[in-house]
Amino acid sequence: MLLVSAPVLGAPEKAALSKVIDTGWLTMGEQVRAFEQAFAEMHGAEDCVAVSSCTAALHLILYALGIGRGDEVLVPSMTFVATANAVLYVGATPVFVDIESADVPLMSIEQAEARCTSQTKAIILVHFAGYLANRKEWQTFARAHDLHLVEDAAHAPGLKEVGTYGAAAAFSFYGNKNMTTAEGGAVIARDPKLLATIRLARGHG
C-alpha cells in the first residue's frame, strides 16, 4: 500500500464539526456559505460554489458552458479519470493530449494543437501536483481556437493565479488533498451568470 498523504486533523476540526452537528443543519447551511465566501476571497474572486466533489465541479462547469453531444474536450492523458468522466457526463467526447515531459507533467500545447478539430469546444487544464500551466500561452491558444478554458485545480487550491485562466476552475477537498473537507469540491467562475447557473444546477435546478 502506497499512501498518498494523511490529513492533518485535530481539536479545532473536532470542535467545528461538533458545532455543526449541534445546529441540526448538516448540509448547505451557514458554514457552507461562510466557506464559499472565504475560499473565494483566498483566490481573489467575488464568490464560489461549494459542491460534493471536484468531479461534480467539472461536470457542472461543462454543463453551464453548454458543452454536450457532438462536442470534443481536450484533456491531459496524465490525470485522474474524473477529468475525462466529467466530459462523458455531458455527452461530449474527451480527447486525450500528451504531457510535455516527465519533468513537466502538464498538457503539451503542441500536442493540443495537433488534436484540435472543428468539434473541439473546450480544454480542461490540470495543474498536476501543483504545477501551474502557463496561463498566457493557454489563453492565447484558447482565443485562437475559440475554446472555453477550464482549470482542473484539484491539486492547486490557494496557489496564485489559480482560477484566473478562463471560464472556471474546479477544486477538490478529498481526503488526500492538501486541503480537505473529507469529501467536497468547489467552483470559481468570474462570470456571475455562469456561476449562478452552476449554483442552480447544484441543487438540480
Active site residues: 177
Tell me which DSSP letter residue 99 carries. Answer: B
Block residue for cell numbers 468531479:
55
Cα(155)–Cα(172) distance, rounded to whole angstroms? 7
Task: Answer yes or no: are the C-beta atoms of 19 and 26 closer than 8 Å.
Answer: no
Tell me which DSSP letter residue 132 carries. Answer: P
Cα(90)–Cα(88) distance, rounded to whole angstroms? 5
